Amino acid sequence: MSGREALSPTLEVADLRTHFFTKAGIVRAVDGVSFEVRAGEVLGLVGESGCGKTVTGFSILGLVDPPGRVVSGSIRLKGQELNGLDEAALRKVRGNRIAMIFQDPMMTLNPVLKIGTQIMEAVRAHRHVTRAAVRELACNALARVGIAAPEKRLEAYPHELSGGMRQRVAIAIAFINKPDLIIADEPTTALDVTIQAQILYEAQKLCRETGTAMIWITHDLAVVSALADRIAVMYAGRIVEQGATSDIITRPLHPYTQGLLGSVPSANRRGARLAQIPGLPPSLLAPPPGCSFQPRCPKAVAECELAAPPVTEPMVGRQVRCFRPLVAEPAAS
């Protein structure tokens, strides 16, 4: 790659494969995914439901439940290999060096425990700190995500807070141990649009300030284009295109990315009918031969049915998995 190489990435995922061994057959939920995230950088992991985004996140944390497991690949956090670590070692990583934020803040906080108890627990799981010091930390964490009267909030139960507030609490918990990496799994999907914007802003600001790397998993291109530094587009368990956000948005190389961009409403094309990608995502149980996007691809040629296209790097910092990448042209033509 380019001169960025001097800065070694926080997280390097190489050829990650997570398969689920079900009775109906092997589901290749994640099938050869490679990407990197640097400190302070936000990587947007975009894709439709069921394309393997969330499983990728859980694979990094080593939390894939049977019948699934990480079959092969390497997950390096600041040079340390995580794949193959035992449960006790992984437990020290979770919540401490890698934190997770979930989609629905209504569900991720325990309804019977006070907010304060849940925040403090996150600290005490990894560090031995006095009660007073933990309380102090929890207060600061809440203040940092924009919650007023944090001292009082510590005594509140989750049902007493609004959805946006709860997601702020979840973010505070994620940041409290100063992790190297945060995996955010659609954290704004369950929130309304105004709150969503505030949460996006807070999360991005915290990442920049603390130098935390972040993987923002979403199906919403509009959200990541405002937030992420780089975007990785996932389709049927594979990353089909990767690159800097502005490049991807303005000049998509993969037909799937173009299709996604075309289905986002835009002010430039007011009144025009929204384009949609025909067909449905393929079953991961029996993926189509060759390129998995080929049955839905408007540009497919005979070659696409024969073999899966390899990853190519047509430009510096751009990767695409396609035999016939689109020529550089503005997306909204």
Partner 1 sequence: MSLAEPEISTQQEASAVAVETPLRRFLSDYFESPIATAALAVLFLLVCLAVLAPVISPQNPYDLAEVDVLDSRLPPGSEGMTGYTFWLGTDGAGRDLLSAMLYGLRISLAVGVMSGLIATVLGSLVGLTAAYVGGRVETLIMRIVDMQLSFPAILIALMLIAVLGKGVDKIVIALVTVQWAYYARTVRGTAIIERRKEYVEAARCLGLTHTRILLKHILPNCLPPLIVVATVQAAHAIALEATLSFLGVGLPQTEPSLGLLISNGFEYMLSGKYWISFFPGLLLLATILAINLVGDRLRDVLNPRLTR
- 173 is a site residue for partner 1 (CB under 8 A): yes
Q: What angle do CA 220, 245, 318 make, to 5 degrees?
A: 120
Q: Which is nearer to partner 1, 81 or 155 (CB)?
A: 155
What is the chain's alpha carbon radius of gyration, rounded to the nearest angstrom? 21
Query: Which residues within the stretch 184-243 sit at the binding site for partner 1 (CB under 8 A)?
Result: 194, 198
Q: Which is nearer to partner 1, 141 or 233 (CB)?
A: 141
CB 101 within 8 A of CB 187: yes
Interhelix angle for 131-144 vs 163-175, to 10°?
Answer: 120
Instruction: Candidates 28-36, 96-104, 207-215, 265-273: pick the segment binding partner 1 (CB under 8 A).
Output: 96-104
Can you tell me which residue has the tokens 């909204």?
Answer: 332
- 160 is a site residue for partner 1 (CB under 8 A): yes
Q: How many CB atoms lie within 10 A of CB 174?
A: 26
To partner 1, the closest distance from the beta carbon of 320 in angstroms equals 32
- 126 is a site residue for partner 1 (CB under 8 A): yes
Instruction: Candidates 103-111, 216-224, 244-252, 307-315: pick the segment binding partner 1 (CB under 8 A).
Output: 103-111
- 157 is a site residue for partner 1 (CB under 8 A): yes
CB 295 within 8 A of CB 304: no
Cβ burial, residue 242 (10 Å; 0-12/13-18/19+): buried
Q: Among 156, 226, 308, 331, which residue interacts with partner 1 (rule: CB under 8 A)?
A: 156
CB 38 within 8 A of CB 298: no
- Sort strands 318-321 and 311-315 into parallel, antiparallel or unpaired: antiparallel
- 94 is a site residue for partner 1 (CB under 8 A): yes
Q: How far is CA 66 from the centre of its chain?
A: 22
Query: Which residues within the stretch 24-83 sit at the binding site for partner 1 (CB under 8 A)?
Result: 61, 63
d(CA 330, CA 192): 31
- 122 is a site residue for partner 1 (CB under 8 A): yes
Q: Among 16, 42, 55, 100, which residue interacts with partner 1 (rule: CB under 8 A)?
A: 100
Binding site for partner 1 (CB under 8 A): 61, 63, 91-96, 99-100, 102, 104, 107-113, 121-122, 125-126, 143, 146-149, 152, 155-157, 160-162, 164-165, 168, 170, 173, 194, 198
